[in-house]
Amino acid sequence: AQTVTQSQPEMSVQEAETVTLSCTYDTSENNYYLFWYKQPPSRQMILVIRQEAYKQQNATENRFSVNFQKAAKSFSLKISDSQLGDTAMYFCALPTPTNDMRFGAGTRLTVKP
């Protein structure tokens, strides 16, 4: 069964610094996608970054990058040069074979001025 674990319920970081959010997962699939979504207090879930498991290169989107370790089933999100607008809940997600998106419990990130 697909499971996603986020072990950091809350984190904080100073503006302009770097923070890493952790995620581990379990799946029996060999080819799959992994996602990080951001949910600000306004509630809209926004895609941050996507990683394809068959690609060895880690995905990068501007200040957001991932450290994907397939053998360890680890998928962490690094946010560089943190901005106040990065304050949000961050969810790690893994689709099941029927494309039901399994989400972790989330990490609440606060960026402090």
Q: How far is the CB of 17 from other proteins (least distance, A)?
A: 26
Q: Work out whether 91 is an interface residue with other proteins (CB under 8 A).
A: yes
By CB under 8 A, residue 21 contacts other proteins: no
Verify binding: residue 53, other proteins, rule CB under 8 A.
no
- Count residues contacting other proteins (CB under 8 A)? 22
Please enumerate in sequence order all residues whose Cβ is within 8 A of that of 7, keeping only pairs 6 or more positions apart, or say none: 22, 24
Our CB check for other proteins shows the closer of 84 and 105 to be 105
Our CA angle for 113, 67, 50, nearest 5°, is 85
Q: Give the separation between CA 98 and CA 95, rounded to whole angstroms.
A: 8
Q: Does 87 interact with other proteins (rule: CB under 8 A)?
A: no
CB of 98 to other proteins, least distance (A): 5
Q: Which of 34, 106, 109, 111 binds other proteins (CB under 8 A)?
A: 106
Query: Where do contacts with other proteins occur on this chain (CB under 8 A)?
Result: 4, 33, 35, 37, 42-47, 50, 91, 93, 95, 98-101, 103-106
